């Protein structure tokens, strides 16, 4: 199964700035999901974008998907210190059968927001 590749591996910004994280993948997907992980805790689902969608918003989050480039971006606007966490993209493979319901996670981007 494929794995998303995230970029950058680490990002350090000041409060109030925007944070952009990218995820690239190799084969067709059914959907792409973004998760957040606070240090030492479980992952929390943030937002999902389907393969036929190009952009979605949720509060301060904006996700884009470019299936021709096989890439997605997560934008956090007006960041806060509380946004400090690791962010992961997760891919649901297009094919059914044994790939049904199986998410593959990228290695994550560590975001640090300084007060």
Contact positions toward another protein, by CB under 8 A? 1, 3, 30-31, 33, 35, 40-45, 48, 50, 88, 90, 92, 98, 100-108
Residue with tokens 């680490």: 10
CB 100, min distance to another protein, A: 6
Backbone φ and ψ of 70, nearest 5°: 50, 55
CB 15, min distance to another protein, A: 27
Nearer to another protein, 17 or 47 (CB): 47
CB 82, min distance to another protein, A: 18
Nearer to another protein, 50 or 114 (CB): 50
Cα(22)–Cα(20) distance, rounded to whole angstroms?
7
Q: What is the DSSP string of 1-34?
A: ----EEE-SEEEEETTS-EEEEEE-SS-EEEEEE
Nearer to another protein, 18 or 38 (CB): 38
CB 91 within 8 A of CB 101: no
């Amino acid at each position: 199964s494929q794995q998303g590749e995230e970029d950058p591996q680490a990002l350090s910004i000041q409060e109030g700035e925007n944070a952009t994280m990218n995820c690239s993948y190799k084969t067709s997907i059914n959907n792409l999901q973004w998760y957040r992980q606070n240090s030492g805790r479980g992952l929390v689902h943030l937002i999902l974008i389907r393969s036929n969608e190009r952009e979605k918003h949720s509060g301060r989050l904006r996700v884009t998907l470019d299936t021709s480039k096989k890439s997605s971006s997560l934008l956090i606007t007006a960041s806060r210190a509380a946004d400090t966490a690791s962010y992961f993209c997760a891919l649901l493979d297009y094919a059914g059968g044994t790939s049904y319901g199986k998410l593959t996670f990228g290695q994550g981007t560590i975001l640090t927001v300084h007060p």
